[in-house]
Structure 1
Amino acid sequence: MKDHIGIAEKLNRESILRSGGALLRSRPNCRIGIERESLRCTACGMLSEAAHPASLGGKDDNPYITTDWAESQIELITPPCESPAAAHRFLEMLTDIVLRELAPRQELLWPLSTPCRLPDAGRIACARFEEAAENTRRRKLREKYPVEMLLLSGIHCNFSFTDEFLRRIADGADRKAVREAGYLKTARNLQRLLWFAVGLLGASPAGTTGISVRNSSAGYKSACSAQLDYTSVAAYCESVNRCLETGLIAAPSELYTPVRLRFSEKPTGGPVEINRLELRFIDLNPFEKCGISAADLELLRLLLFHCLLTGESELERFSEDFETVAENGFTPGQREKAAELLKQLGETARLLHVEIPGALEGAAGRLHCPEHSYAERIRKAGTLSPEWLRRAETYRDDALAEAWRLPGFDELELSTQCMIREAVKGGIHFEVISREDNILRLRKGTRREYVVQATRTSLDTYVTPLLMNNKLVSKMLLREHGIHTPDGIELRPDDDLADRLRPFIGKRAVVKPVSTNYGIGISVFEHPATKEQLREAVRLAAGFDRHILVEEFCPGREFRFLVIAGKTFAVTFRRACHVVGDGVSTIHELIERANRHPWRAPGHHRPLVTIVEDEAMRQHLALQALDFGSVIPAGEDIPLRRISNISAGGEACDATELMPERFKRIAERAAAAFDAVICGVDIIIPEPLGPGSSYAVIEANFNPALLIHEFPFEGKSRPAARQVLIALGLLDD
C-alpha cells in the first residue's frame, strides 16, 4: 500500500513538474505514430475492386503501407516520431507516395471515414495476404460484423512518453511501476474526456445531429469495450482474457475500443509492459490531405499530457458519455464544460514545448461556432457529395505537382529522397542517420545496408572513387581497356605555360582540374582558343587543383550512362543551361526568370539546380560577344555554359531507348575498368547517333546523381533508385 501511495505521489502535477518539468518544456518528451486507413475509389467515386497496387510492395511485410480489413482499404503507418509536426510530415510523405502510385490506375483515396459508393457486398473482397491466418481472421470478421462497419476508416494515434521522461518522473522509484501507473492514469483520464475529443474532432456525421458514427453505438467497436478494466495491467489482461473466453472477441487484435493499451509483448502470455496508448476514436478529416491536421495532432498531445498531469478526481467532474456526444453533439452544458477544458489545456500548454501554434484556437473556433465543426461542414455538403471526389482529385494533383518532394525529408539531396521513396514502396525499413551527409541505414529482414548520397554503397570498394577522381589515372585505365578518351596533357600553374599551351593555341580545347566533379572549374572552348583564353582557363582550374588537364575538344553531344551491376540502366543527355530572348530583357533578367521555375532550387533538392552567374559563365558569354547585360532578340536561344552538368544548371533529357546498344556496351566496359558496380559514364557522341559513330569517354563518376534519370526534364522517368536497391539485394528484380 505504501509503495502504491509513493507511485501515485510521483504522478501528481507538482512532482512531475519538479522532476520532469525541463523535459516538458523541451523536445522530445513523447513519441507519436499514426495509422491512417482510407478506401481506394475509382475516378467516379465507386469503391475500387482492383487488387492492392503491386508497386507498393507486399502487404505482409511492408512496415509503412499495407491494407486493413478490405483489399481496397489502404493503411499507412508512420514510425514513432518525436513531435506532432514530424509525425504529420511522415504521414504526408506516405500519402503523397500512395496518391502518385494510384494516379496511373485512375484511383483516388476517398477522404471521408464513411464509405464511398459501394458495389454489392459480395463483390467487396477481404484483404488477401500470404499468411493464411490473416486471411482467416478477416473472413471471420466479415461473418461477425456488417461490411459497412468494417469499411469505416479512421486515424489511429499511437502515443508514448519517452523513456528519459519516465525515468525523470520516477526519480529513483521503481521505473516499471511508474511507467505502468502513468499510462494507466492517462488512459483512465482520457476515457473520462473522450466525449470532449470526439465532439471536437468528429467528422462522420449521421442523421441530423450525429457527429461521429464511428464512435456511436452503431460504430466501429467490439462488444467488450465496456468490460475492460484499466485499474492495473493485471486487471486489464484479465478482462481481455475474459472477453476471449466468452467469445466476445476472437483475438486481442479485435479490441475495437476507443483507447487501447499496447504492450511490448502480447497481454495473453509472457512478461508484459505497456509501451504506448493507441487512440482509435479519430475520424478522417476530409478537409486535410492526410486525414488529420498537424494542429489536431498537437491538440491530442496536449490532451494526453493534461490527462497525465491532472488528478483523476479533478477530471472525474468533467466526465460525460462519449457515445451520446457522438450521436447528438454537444449539449449547452457540455459546451460550457468543453470551454473550461480548453482553458485548462491552455494552462497545460504553457508548461510544454508547443511546436504548432493555433491548435487550441482552432478547437475553440469549432466549439463556439458549431457550423464550423468538421461534422457540420460535411453534413451540409452530404457524405456522398461530388465535393469529396473533387477534394480527392485536388489531393492527388497536389501530390503530383511536386512528384519529387518527400515532406519531412525535402532538405536531403533529391537522389537520397528517391532512395527513401523506393524503400517505402518496397517495404524496406529506412533510417536517416545523418541528414547533413545524406546517410541512410536500410533494413529488410536480416539484411542491413548503409547508403551515402544514394549511390555510395558497400558494393563499391574504397579505391574506386579515388581512381575515378583522378582524371589522369582514369584516362590511363580506360585506354588500357581499349576505350577511346580525348588526347591531352597535364600541367601545373607554375609550368612554362607559353610552351606547354602552344599545341592548343588556335584549337578547340577543354581545360579542367585533374580532380574534379560536378563540372567544377572546367572551361570548354568550342571555337579556337586564344593564348589569353587558355591562360585564364588554367587560372580558373588552378583554384580547384594544382594539377590541370588540357585536352582536345571532342565535338558531339554529351551523354550520361548510368551503369548498375554491369548493365546500362539509363541514358540521358544533358542540355546546358540556356535562356531564350524576348527582345526586351537582359541575360541577367532572363536567368532570374528561369530560376523561378518550380523545378529549380539551390543544391540537389529538386530536379533542376539554380542557375548561378559566375566567372565561367561570363567567359562563355564573352566567346559569343555577350555579357550579362546583353538584350537577346526574341526567340533566340543562348547557351550560358558549354558544360551541361545538372549541378551547373543543366537540364536532363532521357535517351535510353534512342541510344545504340554499342555505346551501352562501351559504358559497361568503362565501369568495369574501375571495378565499379554503380557508375556514371560520360560519353561524347556526334549526332546523328548511329552504331558506327565515333565517340570519346570523358570521365567516369563514382557518385552519379539519380535525379536526372528519375526526373528528366524531357522523356521517360527511369526508376534508378529501385535498381540500386535491387543491386544491394534489398528488393527482388
Structure 2
Amino acid sequence: MYRLLEQRLREIDTHRLHPYLRNARTGLEKESLRVNDSGRLSQRDHPTIFGSALTHPWITTDYAESLLELITPPQARAHHALDFLLNIETFVYQQLDNELLWTTSMPCVLAGEADIRIAEYGTSNAGRMKHVYRQGLAWRYGKAMQVIAGIHFNYSIDEAFWQPWQALQGDTRELRQFRDDAYMGMVRNLQRYGWLIIYLFGTSPAICKSFLAGRAAPPGMETFNEHSLYEPFGTSLRMGNIGYTNSKENKTGVKVSYDSLDTYVASLRRAIATPCPHYADIGVNVAGEYRQLNANILQIENEYYSTVRPKQPLNRFEKPTDALEQRGIAYVELRSVDVNAFHPAGITRKQLAFLEIFMHFCLLQDSPAISDAEFNAINSNQMLTAHRGRDPQVMLDCQGKALPLLEYANDLLQAMRPVAELLDTVHGEQSYSACLDKQLQLAAQPDSTPSARMLEEMQQNHESFFDFAQRKSLEHRDYFLQRSLEPTIKQSFEDMARDSLQQQYTLEQAEQLPFAQFLEAYFSGDFHANKN
C-alpha cells in the first residue's frame, strides 16, 4: 500500500533533495463569531477600526456580519503563521468593545435565522456581489450552517522542489503540468485520508440545542443536559450531517472530478453554468431585490463545500476556475480543521507540524483516480468518523475492505514515520517525529482526543456546551488582552485598516456598471481593468 511512498522517500534521500523542501509556505484562516457579553450573537456592524471587510487582506468577515475571519499571509514556517495569527487576534481583541470571539466551531446561542445578519461589504458592485452570494446561500441552505466556524490550512510545497523532482521522475512535460498533477494527487489523498484529521483534531462533539431551531435531533444525537445535545462517540459534528456537507449533491447534479486540474475546472464550470429548477423557483431578481447571483446548480465555485480545494490567488475580478486554468495550482487549502477550544489561536504548533507531515505524505503517497465506489467510501468514512470516531467498534472502508478505525489510524500514522523523519532532516530538528508520537497516542487512546476532553470537562463541571464554550472564550480573551504587540506590528495593523477603508471608498466612488451588467461581465470573464 505504501510501496511508492517508500520509493519516493528513498529517491529524495539518495539524491539529497531535502533542501528543496525547506521553504514550504503555510497560511492560516480562522473564523470566529463575535458574541456580546451574554454570549448571544453580536448584532453590531463589523468594527471599522479593523478596516474594510471588503478590501482588508487579513481581517474580514465570512458569511455573517458577526463571523470574523482572520487570514495570515503565507509564511516560511507553519509556526510563523501561528505567530502571525496570534498577533492579528491580539490586535482585534484589544479593539473589541465588550465582545467575545467564540472559541468553538459550533456557534453560540442562536435566536433563529433572523438572528444572523448576512455580511455587508458596501455599495460597490464587488461588495454587492459578495452580499448577494450569501443571500443565495441563505435561500438555498439556510443561515445556521453558514455560521459554523473552522480553520483553513493553506499549504504550498517549496517551488524550488518541483524542477529537480520532475527530472528525477523522468517527466518531460511542461513543469506546470507536472506540478498541477502532483498537487491534484495530493488533493485526492487529502480526501482519502482526511477522516484522520477529523478524528485527531475534531473538537465539536456537542452543540447548543438552539442550533437546530426546534427541529428534531438527527439520529444518534442524545441529550447532554437541558440546553445541549451531543454524540457520545462524536468527534466533529461540524464535519457531519449537520455541518459542511454536499447533502444536496445528488439532487442538484453536482459531481466534481478530481482526476486532473482540467476535469476539476470543467466540472465546476459545468455546475456554475447549469440551471437548477429548484433554485429557479427561488428567483434571482425579485421585485428589484437580488435573492441569489443566478439560479444555477452553483452560484460560484465557493458554493461547492469540499474538505480540500486546489487554489490560485485571484487577480481583481478573476474567477477561481479561470485563475487555475491560467496559472495552475499555487497551494492547497485543507478546510476540515475544527477550532481547537483548548488553545487561544484555535490550533497548536504540534497540530500544525502534523498537518505538514500529512501534506507531504499525501503528496508522495500513490494517488490513483477516485472511482464512484471510492467517492462513496470517502464520504462514508468522513461521516462515520465525525459521528462515531471514538467508538472502538466503528469500521472504515480501506481499499474496499472493512478495517477498525483505530487500526487504520495507527497504520496510516506509522506509514508517516519516514515522512516525519524527512521533515526533521529538512529543518534540522526533531519536532516532527515528536509530534507524530503525540498523534499515535491519540490513535491509541480515544479518550485523550480533543473531542473526548471537551465532553469530559463538560461532565466534570456540569456545564452545557454553551457554558463550556463561553468559559473558554473568556479565558482566551484574557490571554489576548494580556499580550502586547510590538509598536511596529501594531502600527502595521493600524495602517492596513486605514488603507483598506480608503480602498473601499475609492472603489465606491468610481463609476459603476449596472449590477446586472457587472454580473454578466464577471461570469463571462470579460472585465477590463477599469471596471468595478
Picking from 353, 361, 366, the partner of 1:306 is 361
Picking from 309, 321, 336, the partner of 1:260 is 309
- 1:346 equivalent in structure 2: 417
Picking from 420, 428, 438, the partner of 1:362 is 438
Look up the SS of the partner of 2:407 in the other structure: helix
- 1:116 equivalent in structure 2: 108
Moved more, 85-94 or 332-341: 332-341
Look up the SS of the partner of 1:271 in the other structure: helix
CA positional deviation for 1:366: 2.2
Flag the structure with more relative contact order, 1 or 2, with Cα contacts below 8 A and sequence separation at least 6: 2
- 2:121 equivalent in structure 1: 129
Superimposed CA distance per residue, residues 391-423 of structure 1 (whole angstroms, 9 cap, x where no aligned partner): 212212222223x32xxxxxxxx4423322323
Name the CA distance, whole Å, in 1 between partners of 2:370 and 2:437.
Answer: 22
CA positional deviation for 1:339: 1.1
- 1:34 equivalent in structure 2: 28
Look up the SS of the partner of 2:422 in the other structure: coil
CA spacing shift, 1:260–1:20, aligned 2, 3 Å: farther
Look up the SS of the partner of 1:227 in the other structure: coil
Name the CA distance, whole Å, in 2 between partners of 1:267 and 1:388.
Answer: 35
Moved more, 119-128 or 136-145: 119-128
Name the CA distance, whole Å, in 2 between partners of 1:20 and 1:143.
Answer: 54
Q: Is the 8 A contact 1:60 1:129 kept in 2?
A: yes
Moved more, 44-53 or 305-314: 305-314
Superimposed CA distance per residue, residues 343-399 of structure 1 (whole angstroms, 9 cap, x where no aligned partner): 222221111135645422322232222222111222331662423222212212222
Look up the SS of the partner of 1:350 in the other structure: helix
Q: Percent of pairs identical after alignment? A: 28
CA spacing shift, 1:79–1:213, aligned 2, 3 Å: same
- 1:337 equivalent in structure 2: 408
Q: Is the 8 A contact 1:84 1:297 kept in 2?
A: yes
Q: Is the 8 A contact 2:34 2:99 kept in 1?
A: yes
CA positional deviation for 1:155: 0.5
Would you say 1:234 and 2:267 are equivalent positions?
A: no
RMSD over equivalenced CA pairs, Å: 3.0
Look up the SS of the partner of 1:287 in the other structure: coil
Q: Is the 8 A contact 2:233 2:391 kept in 1?
A: no
Name the CA distance, whole Å, in 2 between partners of 1:336 and 1:302.
Answer: 19
Would you say 1:423 and 2:495 are equivalent positions?
A: yes
Look up the SS of the partner of 1:274 in the other structure: coil
Look up the SS of the partner of 1:241 in the other structure: helix
- 1:209 equivalent in structure 2: 233
- 2:155 equivalent in structure 1: 159
Structure 2 residue ranges without an equivalent (≥5)? 206-229, 276-295, 393-403, 507-532
Superimposed CA distance per residue, residues 548-577 of structure 1 (whole angstroms, 9 cap, x where no aligned partner): xxxxxxxxxxxxxxxxxxxxxxxxxxxxxx
Q: Is the 8 A contact 2:258 2:370 kept in 1?
A: no
Within 5 Å, give how 1:523-534 maps onto structure 2: none
Name the CA distance, whole Å, in 1 between partners of 2:368 and 2:133.
Answer: 41
CA positional deviation for 1:305: 0.2
Which residue identity lines up with residue 268 of structure 2 in the other structure? Answer: V
CA positional deviation for 1:15: 4.3
Runs of 4 or more, structure 1, over 6 Å off, are: 313-320
Name the CA distance, whole Å, in 1 between partners of 2:257 and 2:468.
Answer: 43
- 1:401 equivalent in structure 2: 482
Which residue identity lines up with residue 397 of structure 1 in the other structure? Answer: D
Which residue identity lines up with residue 264 of structure 2 in the other structure? Answer: Y
Which residue identity lines up with residue 333 of structure 2 in the other structure? Answer: E
Look up the SS of the partner of 2:165 in the other structure: helix
Which residue identity lines up with residue 410 of structure 2 in the other structure? Answer: A
Superimposed CA distance per residue, residues 239-285 of structure 1 (whole angstroms, 9 cap, x where no aligned partner): 11232225332111212100111135645446241111111111111
Look up the SS of the partner of 2:28 in the other structure: strand
CA positional deviation for 1:97: 1.1
Q: Is the 8 A contact 1:37 1:74 kept in 2?
A: yes
CA spacing shift, 1:211–1:168, aligned 2, 3 Å: same
Name the CA distance, whole Å, in 1 between partners of 2:77 and 2:481.
Answer: 27
Within 5 Å, give how 1:49-448 maps onto structure 2: 49-102=43-96, 105-130=97-122, 131-171=127-167, 173=172, 174-205=174-205, 206-222=230-246, 223-224=248-249, 227-244=255-272, 245-246=274-275, 247-264=296-313, 266=319, 268-269=321-322, 271-312=326-367, 321-330=381-390, 332=392, 333-352=404-423, 353=426, 356=431, 358-380=434-456, 381=458, 384-402=465-483, 404-405=484-485, 414-426=486-498
Structure 1 residue ranges without an equivalent (≥5)? 1-7, 406-413, 430-442, 448-733
Which residue identity lines up with residue 42 of structure 1 in the other structure? Answer: N
Name the CA distance, whole Å, in 1 between partners of 2:59 and 2:464.
Answer: 26
Name the CA distance, whole Å, in 1 between partners of 2:467 and 2:313.
Answer: 44
Residues paired across the two proteins, number = 412
